Structures are given as C-alpha cells and as structure tokens.
C-alpha cells in the first residue's frame, strides 16, 4: 500500500477540480458582469467578490465531495463500496490505498501543475515582499500627524496613497496638502479612509489568488470590475458627506496633480485617482443607481455547492475513472 500514491491522487484530483472550476466560473462570469453592471457600487462589489472566490470554493467542495464516500468507511465500515470493485480498479480511498505509484504521465501532470502553482505563488510573494519593503521605507520617512491620523511626507511631490493590508495608513505629501483646499483634502481623506474601513486592499489580494485558475481575459475583466466597484463605493461614501458633484470635482482636480505612483507599491496600496477616473466621475454625475440583489448571487453559489456535495457518490466514481485513465 502506498500513502504517497494516495497523496498523488488527491493532489491530482484537486488540480483537476481547480481547472474545471476556473473554466466554469470563466464561462459564467461575463453574464454576471453584465447582470450587476447597472447596480449601485456596494452591492455590485459584494456580488463580484462572491464571483471571485467562487472558483476556490467550488474546487475545494468538489475535492471534498469526491473524497467523502472514501471517508465514510472510517466511521461506518458497512459503507465500504471499494469491496465491490475488482483489484484493477483505482481507489480514491483513505482505507484502500493504491498498491503502486502512478505512471510517468501522471507524474508529469502533477509536476507541471504544482510547478505552475508554485511559480505563481513565488512571483506573487516576490511582488508583495518588494511592496512591503517600499511601504516600510515610505512610512519610516514620514511623520504621523495626530490631528488627522495620516502620515505626512516632507516632499513637494504630490502623493496620496493608502498603504497596508491589515492596518492601512493614509500617506500624504506636504506638496499635495499645500495645493489642496481644506474641502478637497477632506474629500480625499474620506475616500481613503473608506478604503481602509472596507479592507479593499486585502479583498483585492484575495481575489487575485482565488481567480488564479480562471481564463486570463475573463479574470482581467473581473478584477478590473471589482476594483472599479471598490473605488466607486468609496466615492459614494465620501459623497454622502460632501455631495456627489463636490467629490467628482475633487477627484478630477487631485488626479491632475498626482504624478508619483511609487512603482512597486501597488500590491499593498490604494492610489487616489489612479483607476478609471472618467468612469467614476460619470457615475457621480449621473443619477444614483438602484440597489442590486446580492443575495441571489450568494444563494446561487451556495446552492451549487450543496448540489455538488449531494452528488458526492457519482462525483467520486467519475473522479476515480478519470484518474484511473491517467495513472494506469
């Protein structure tokens, strides 16, 4: 019996379901994007977050569902269905481990799949490490302003950025503050503090990870739509205090000033006026949009996951058949 062979089968099954879930969500995502486009920013953002995490939830659920029938004999031995198969049948089972490792083709698929995941993870980690280094240096150069709770940089270059994931901090430059009116500065701070309360940087990082197996073109559209919804949500929160026209004027005015984007900081930062400025201004000058039905998106995903778990028996046998064709 081979525990390594069983681990190989589980990892192969997980990779297979990750790819299938990514393709499935990629096929559905354009329809969801079109459906939620007329919604107000905040419910649209929530619906897009649900869509972004769907590939990982679906892949994990499918993997667990395919393993569930093989785990039941550990509790109820009479449910050991493996005894119904002949010795040549592949067992995706915690009780009846495979007798040998898979063939060269299965190991090639495993190495390529895990290698691709590792390369993506290392690339993302390198960007985050560089961004964290730049972030630490930026905060070390500034001084905390007790009155506003922001970090001020002693530079004439206009800079406005929200730095950090778990404890975001607003960083402004003296050059920007000197050029802004008191009301414009208040709008900027309201927008960036809204990002901080909503943990938008953390959500964006999570979405980039959970959509890794989606088709690249659809993934880009989904992530762009998610970021636009986050920016517009913060615009709306600022507009609740200062008015929609005033926020639009501040966005346009500040965006023209900001020349420094601090290259390399993006994974851990939110830049004011750096994304879809024209769309944000048009949305603020138009009539407010109606609320959407976020519950419907969440309920649809939950129903799909329940159906997958309910179909664990046929899914288990199908997975065994597919893996058997690969490893034999």
The β-bridge relationship of strands 169-173 and 150-153 is: parallel
Q: What is the pLDDT of residue 9?
A: 80
As a whole-number percent, the residues of the chain with pLDDT over 90 amount to 45
pLDDT, tens digit (0-9, with 9 covering 90-100), for 269-316: 777 766 688 899 999 998 877 788 889 899 999 999 999 999 888 887
Pairwise CA distance, residues 62 & 319, whole Å: 10
- Most confident range, picked from 50-64, 72-86, 108-122, 162-176: 50-64
Q: Crossing angle, helix 216-242 and helix 277-285, to 10 degrees?
A: 50
Q: What is the pLDDT of residue 76?
A: 60
DSSP code, position 230: H
**How far does Cα 89 stand from its chain's mean position?**
38
Q: What is the pLDDT of residue 19?
A: 94
pLDDT band at 66 (very low <50, low <70, confident <90, very high): confident
Which helix H or strand E contains 67, and what residues bound it? helix 41-71
pLDDT, tens digit (0-9, with 9 covering 90-100), for 232-246: 999 999 999 999 999
Pairwise CA distance, residues 60 & 57, whole Å: 5
Q: How many CA atoms lie within 13 A of 95 on its CB side?
A: 16
pLDDT, tens digit (0-9, with 9 covering 90-100), for 144-180: 877 778 999 998 888 888 998 888 999 998 988 898 8
Q: What is the pLDDT of residue 289?
A: 79
Provide the number of structural domains found in the chain. 1
Lookup: tokens for 218: 């659809």
* Confidence (pTM): 0.88
296 with 48: CB under 8 angstroms? no
Q: What is the pLDDT of residue 106?
A: 78
**Which is it for the CA torsion 318, 310, 43, 162, positive or negative?**
negative
pLDDT, tens digit (0-9, with 9 covering 90-100), for 101-151: 667 777 888 889 999 999 999 998 998 898 888 888 888 888 887 777 899
Q: What is the pLDDT of residue 273?
A: 64
The β-bridge relationship of strands 160-163 and 150-153 is: unpaired
79 with 87: CB under 8 angstroms? no
Compute φ and ψ for 113, nearest 5 degrees.
Answer: -65, -50
CA nearest to 16, candidates 121, 124, 120, 112: 112
Q: What is the pLDDT of residue 256?
A: 79
SS3 80: coil
| Domain extent at residue 209 | 3-327
Residue with the bigger pLDDT between 212 and 99: it is 212
Q: What is the pLDDT of residue 261?
A: 57
């Amino acid at each position: 019996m081979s525990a390594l062979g069983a681990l190989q089968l589980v990892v192969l099954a997980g990779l297979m379901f990750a790819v299938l879930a990514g393709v499935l969500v990629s096929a559905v995502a354009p329809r969801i994007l079109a459906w939620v486009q007329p919604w107000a920013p905040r419910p649209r953002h929530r619906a897009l977050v649900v869509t972004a995490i769907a590939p990982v939830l679906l892949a994990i659920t499918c993997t667990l569902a395919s393993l569930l029938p093989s785990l039941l004999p550990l509790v109820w031995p009479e449910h050991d269905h493996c005894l119904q198969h002949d010795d040549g049948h592949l067992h995706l089972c915690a009780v009846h481990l495979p007798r040998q490792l898979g063939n060269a083709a299965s190991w090639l698929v495993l190495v390529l799949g895990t290698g691709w995941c590792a390369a993506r993870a290392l690339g993302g980690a390198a960007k985050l490490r560089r961004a964290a280094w730049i972030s630490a240096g930026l905060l070390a150069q500034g001084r905390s302003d007790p009155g506003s709770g922001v970090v001020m940089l002693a530079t004439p270059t206009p800079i406005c950025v929200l730095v950090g994931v778990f404890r975001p901090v607003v960083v402004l430059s003296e050059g920007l503050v000197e050029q802004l009116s008191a009301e414009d500065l208040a709008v900027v701070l309201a927008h960036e503090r809204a990002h901080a309360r909503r943990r938008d940087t953390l959500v964006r990082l999570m979405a980039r990870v959970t959509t890794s197996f989606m088709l690249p073109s659809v993934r880009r559209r989904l992530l762009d739509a998610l970021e636009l919804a986050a920016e517009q949500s913060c615009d709306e929160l600022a507009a609740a205090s200062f008015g929609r026209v005033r926020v639009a004027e501040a966005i346009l005015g500040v965006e023209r000033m900001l020349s420094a984007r601090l290259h390399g900081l993006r994974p851990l930062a939110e830049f004011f006026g750096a994304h879809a400025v024209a769309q944000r201004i048009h949305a603020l000058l138009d009539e407010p949009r109606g609320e959407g039905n976020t519950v419907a998106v969440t309920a649809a995903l939950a129903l799909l996951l329940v159906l997958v778990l309910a179909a664990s028996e046929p899914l288990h046998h199908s997975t065994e058949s597919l893996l058997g064709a690969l490893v034999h």
